[in-house]
Each structure stands twice: as C-alpha cells, then as structure tokens.
Structure 1
Amino acid sequence: MNCDKCGADAVTHAAYSGAHLCETHFCESVEKRVRRRVREDDLIPDDATTEDPETWVIGLSGGKDSVVLASILDDTFGVDRRVEMIALTIHEGIEGYRDESLDACEELAADLDMRHEVVTYADEIGVEMDDVVEKDPENMAACAYCGVFRRDLLETYADEFGADKLLTGHNLDDEAQTALMNFLEGDVQQVAKHFDASIGSFDDREDLEAFVPRAKPLRDVPEKEVALYCHLRDIPAHMAECPHAEESYRGEIKELLHELEENHPGTRHSIMAGYEELSALAADRYREDGEGADLQECAECGSKTSREVCRKCRLVEAIEAV
C-alpha cells in the first residue's frame, strides 16, 4: 500500500475513511484531530493571557492514551505561556501493574519537563484496589469501584491545583463503549450526565460552577491509531492491561463494538455523532425537570453530591464494613 498523500509506503489503512497514510502523514493526521478538538472545545479562552494563564491538569496513567495526549499537548502548547500543564497520576494499589506504569509517567514527565504529581488510593481514600477486588461488598466489577474513586481524586486535585480544565485521554473507542453501555442499560440520566461533563455544557451554567470542566481531546481518534502513534513516536508507555479489566462489563462491550466496526467501518463515529446530540437533549430535559440540579456537600468528605453522602464515601464504608 502507498500513502494517498505522497506515495510513500503506508503504515496504516483506516477502513472508516478509506485513507492509506505513511508514517509522517498518519502522525500529522492524529495531531491535527487532537488540535482541532482543542479548538472546537475552546480550551483556550479568548481572554487567556501570559499574565493570567490557563491551568490544565492532565490525567496521566502511563498508558498509551494519556502519554500520547500529554505529548501532543506539550508539543503544541509547551511554549505557549498562556497555558500551564500539570500531569496528575493516580496510584490505585494494583500489585505488579501501577508501579510499572508510574515509571513510564515519571520518564515522560521528565522528558517533557512537565510538573508531575502522584496521589494514591491508600493515602487519600484508605483502600487499595487489590483489597477492594477481594472484598467486593457491592458485588460489582472492579472497574465500577475504580471509576468512582479515580474520578473523585482527579476532580479533587484538579480543584486543589486551581485547574481551569481537567483533560483525560479517553479515545474514540472509550467514548463509543460508554455510549453503548448507557444505551443497553437504559440509563438516560447517565446519558445526560455525559453531556454535562463536557466543556461546552459549562457555558452559563451556575449549577456546574462547583466542578472543574473536563475535556477529552483524543475522543476523535480510534484506540488502534493512538497505539500506533505511540509506537511510531517512541513515547514511553506502559502497554499492559489492568489485571482486573477482563472482569468488567465494558470488556464485553469492547468486543461487541470491535466486531461491529470490523463488519461496518465507521460504526464508532456514527454512535458518537448520534450520542452527543441525544445526550444534549437528555441534559436539557433533566434540567427542565429540575432533576440532579440541587447539589450539596457530602457529609463525610465535603465533595459535591446530589445525596447526603457521595458515592465514593458510601463505597468506602461498604468496603470497610467487610
């Protein structure tokens, strides 16, 4: 195969677009999509200045997605004094897994000369994921616990560091999987919350002022393309899968979506195009009905929640009771 743009040997063929691209044009394509998403999400407001720069906290796990995101953002904005970036790594307490990925995080942060902070479940929540999986008081997949804890710490520390934006490395596959899971579970309220977590929904929304706006600049890039970009650019990354991930419902959805994409290229893009429009409509309906708008401080930890005690604290209490 030859590159459609220059005739050089192609390194990839994107079935959803039909494009054959060489290494140079493939990497440029990935970077272009990430930068376009940054522009479309207005991550740098018009009033950002070198005297009053934006602070971005980047969730850096050491996996391919987060290291690619950090690398492209640093390459694009590393010399832009309107932006200050902080890499934040969450150590969940998974033996033989997170310690290795932490090495990748530290190596990349050093290479980029980026401020790097590390927080742990053990210090901040008082639990470690290996113990959570063993006890499993709520009879849930490991990812369900971990997702709650991780989101809480990312939001807590983004706020502590004075972040204007919280950026995560969710790719197209991640987002399409979440959309499909919410559809299959019939969870319309979660669909609405997905919209409320996006940058655009924070404009003129007093009920969301308590949260640091989140953004996902990789959400237009398929997982395999992120992995290929990471390999071609020789970015240090920890490629192993979490040992608990195979137990999750998301894993089944991932396999289903992979098969659909193989048979019908473009399925992921189609799912997200419809999902983002539907999530906006669902969010409007829930706001009109007044559902989910009243937030209060958690009686245990002080974080914002719609209940007296937040989900994280309720899970920790259940784990400690076993």
Structure 2
Amino acid sequence: MDCTKCDREAVLHAAYSGAHLCEHHLRASVEKRVRRRIREDGLIGDDATPQNPETWLLGLSGGKDSVVLGSILADTFAEDPRIELVALTIHEGIKGYRDESLDAASAFADEQEISHEVVTYADEFDLEMDRVVEKDPENMAACAYCGVFRRELLAEYAEAYGADKLLTGHNLDDEAQTAMMNFLEGDVAQMAKHFDASLGPFPERSESTEFVPRAKPLRDVPEKEVALYAHLADLPVHMAECPHSSEAYRGEIQQLLFDLEERHPGTRHSIMAGYEEFAKLAAEAYRGDGPDLGECERCGGTTTREICRTCQLTEAVHAA
C-alpha cells in the first residue's frame, strides 16, 4: 500500500485517521503532534529568552517513550537557546532490567549531548525494588511502590535543578488507560490532578517552588507509533518490560481499550478529548478547596499527611 501523502511504501495504517504513512511521513506526523502539544499547552514561558532560558527536566528511562520524546525535543530546540534540556534517569534496583535501560539512556544522552543525571533508590531510600517486591509489607503491586518513589525523586530533582517544567514520556495509550481507570473508580480528585499534571499547576500552587509544572508532550501519539518511530529512527532504546510489572487491573483496561480501538478506531482519542474537558471542570471545582499542605515530619517534604507516603512506604519496607 502506498503512503497517503506520497508514492512511497506505507509502513503504518493509522485506522483512526484512515491514513497510510511511509517512514518519512510517519516520523513527520509524530514530531508534528509533539510540537503542537507543546504549543497548545503553552509550555514555553513568556519570560523565556536566550539570556534567561527555561530548564526542562526530562524523565529519561531509556525506554521507547522517553527516548523518542527526548529525541524530538533535542531536535526541536537544538537551535533555540530559550530551552535547556536536562535528563534524569532513576535506577530502581531491578537486577538486569534497569542496568540495560540505563545503558540506553546514557547512550542517548551522550549522542544528543544532553546533561544527564542518574539517581538510585539505593542511595536515596536505602532500598531496591527487588527487595521491596520480596518483602511487600503493604501487600500492593510493585508498581504502586515504585510509582510513589519515582514521583518523589522526579519532583525532588526538578526542584533541585531549578527546572521550569518536568516532562515525562506518557503516550496516548498510557493516558487513555489512566483515564478509564479513574472514570471506573469514580476518582474525581485524581481527574483534577490530571489537569494539574498535564497542563500546569493549580493557581494557588503556582508561586510555590515545590510544585514544578508537569507536561506530557507525547500524549497524543499511540504507543504503536512511538515504538515504530524509535525503530525507524534507529534510536538506542530498551524495549523489555519491567519484570515486576504486575498491575492486573491496568492490564485488563489495556486489553479492553485495545479491543475497542480495533472495533472502533479513534476510541482512545475520544476518551482523552472528553477526559481533558472533564479534568478541567474537576480542577476548577477543586481550586482552593484541596487539602492543606504541610511538611512531612520525617523528611520535610510537602505532604497532606503528618508523614508523607514515601516515608511511610520506605519505613514499612525497612521494618519488614
């Protein structure tokens, strides 16, 4: 089948749009959507200048999503002195798996000449995920522990770097799955946080250095297209799944959305379009009405509890 836009051979059929795309036009399409999202979300601040550039911290795992996002960002801002891109890789302590993805992240950062920092759970929390999974004091999925620790370190290092934005490589499938889970669980507060994480901080938090605005510029691009982009661009990525990944509920939602997308192309886009609108309304309703923020008695970090969730979990693991 020929490409819809030229006479080259197509490498992808995007059923949701009906387009057949060759390698050139697939890559151009992915890049266009990422750059459009950056514009529409207003990620480049009005005060960003060559003399006063913004710092964007990229969570770089070495997987396809973060490497593809990093590649597009590096290319987009290569000649734009308003943006300084730095990368952070978190080593959770998963034998074999993270070592290989760290190699991919380091190779990519070196290739792009991006400043690259590596932090570990071992250094930061005196634990490793292999041990957490073995002990499991809270009887939770591994991803639940890891998500708390990862978010803590991303936020901590974003502040430490004086970052103006914190960017992660969540794709369309990731976001649609999260949206469906929040809908089915009736978690309106979490929907409000989605608006906060995707499009900027709540107004009452905007003056706090403890809340660096988060962004997901890859969230309009399906996972399959991200993977194909990484392959066609010959990017150094680690494609293996985490051996501790065991979110059974998310897996069910993933399969549900896959089946729906197969039968009704465009389902993921429709879900996200509605979710974005609902999240904005939820965020508006929660503005000024959220829980009071204080300092964790253990680490001094910002929390709504006496002891933050990170400290609760690390103490539970050490005590197990």
Secondary structure of the residue aligned to 1:101 is helix
The offset of 1:7, in angstroms, is 1.9
Distance 1:226 1:20, change over 3 A: same
| Distance (whole Å) between structure 2 residues aligned to residue 26 and residue 68 of structure 1 | 13
Q: Is the Cα–Cα contact under 8 Å of residues 64 and 226 in structure 1 kept in the other structure?
A: yes
Distance 1:6 1:32, change over 3 A: same
**One-letter code aligned to 1:291:** G
Between the two proteins, the alignment pairs up a number of residues equal to 320
Q: Is the Cα–Cα contact under 8 Å of residues 109 and 115 in structure 1 kept in the other structure?
A: yes
| 1:269-310 CA-partner distances (Å, limit 9, x unpaired) | 11111111111111222225x233x21111111221111111
**One-letter code aligned to 1:169:** G
The offset of 1:198, in angstroms, is 2.5
| 1:66-89 CA-partner distances (Å, limit 9, x unpaired) | 000000000010221111111100
Secondary structure of the residue aligned to 1:58 is strand
- 1:78-93 equivalences in 2 (<5 Å): 78-93=78-93
- 1:144 matched to 2:144? The reply is yes
| Distance (whole Å) between structure 1 residues aligned to residue 235 and residue 277 of structure 2 | 34
| Distance (whole Å) between structure 2 residues aligned to residue 201 and residue 215 of structure 1 | 10
Distance 1:253 1:166, change over 3 A: same
Partner of 1:38: 38
| 1:205-230 CA-partner distances (Å, limit 9, x unpaired) | 54765300000000000000000000
Secondary structure of the residue aligned to 1:315 is helix
The offset of 1:109, in angstroms, is 0.6
Could you tell me the TM-score, scaled by structure 1's length? Answer: 0.96
Q: Is the Cα–Cα contact under 8 Å of residues 48 and 54 in structure 1 kept in the other structure?
A: yes
**One-letter code aligned to 1:165:** K
Secondary structure of the residue aligned to 1:255 is helix
Gap runs ≥5 in structure 1: none
Partner of 2:216: 216
- 1:190-201 equivalences in 2 (<5 Å): 190-201=190-201
Partner of 2:185: 185
Partner of 2:109: 109
| Distance (whole Å) between structure 1 residues aligned to residue 23 and residue 314 of structure 2 | 47
| 1:112-154 CA-partner distances (Å, limit 9, x unpaired) | 0110000000100111111111111111111111111000000
Partner of 2:123: 123
Distance 1:131 1:107, change over 3 A: same
Q: Is the Cα–Cα contact under 8 Å of residues 58 and 167 in structure 2 kept in the other structure?
A: yes
| 277-286 or 166-175, larger mean C-alpha shift | 277-286
Q: Is the Cα–Cα contact under 8 Å of residues 201 and 212 in structure 2 kept in the other structure?
A: no
Partner of 1:291: 290
| Distance (whole Å) between structure 2 residues aligned to residue 37 and residue 132 of structure 1 | 37
Gap runs ≥5 in structure 2: none
| Distance (whole Å) between structure 1 residues aligned to residue 254 and residue 109 of structure 2 | 30
Partner of 1:303: 301
The offset of 1:204, in angstroms, is 6.7
Q: Is the Cα–Cα contact under 8 Å of residues 202 and 208 in structure 1 kept in the other structure?
A: no
Partner of 1:165: 165
Q: Is the Cα–Cα contact under 8 Å of residues 182 and 190 in structure 1 kept in the other structure?
A: yes
**One-letter code aligned to 2:298:** E
Partner of 1:134: 134
RMSD: 1.4
**One-letter code aligned to 1:168:** T
The offset of 1:200, in angstroms, is 4.0
| Distance (whole Å) between structure 2 residues aligned to residue 210 and residue 123 of structure 1 | 22
The offset of 1:182, in angstroms, is 1.0
| Distance (whole Å) between structure 1 residues aligned to residue 241 and residue 307 of structure 2 | 32
Secondary structure of the residue aligned to 1:46 is coil
| Distance (whole Å) between structure 2 residues aligned to residue 227 and residue 21 of structure 1 | 15
Secondary structure of the residue aligned to 2:43 is coil
Distance 1:200 1:206, change over 3 A: closer
Partner of 2:55: 55
| 1:3-26 CA-partner distances (Å, limit 9, x unpaired) | 111121101000111011111111
Identity of aligned residues (%): 71
Could you tell me the TM-score, scaled by structure 2's length? Answer: 0.96
Secondary structure of the residue aligned to 2:246 is helix
Distance 1:204 1:134, change over 3 A: closer
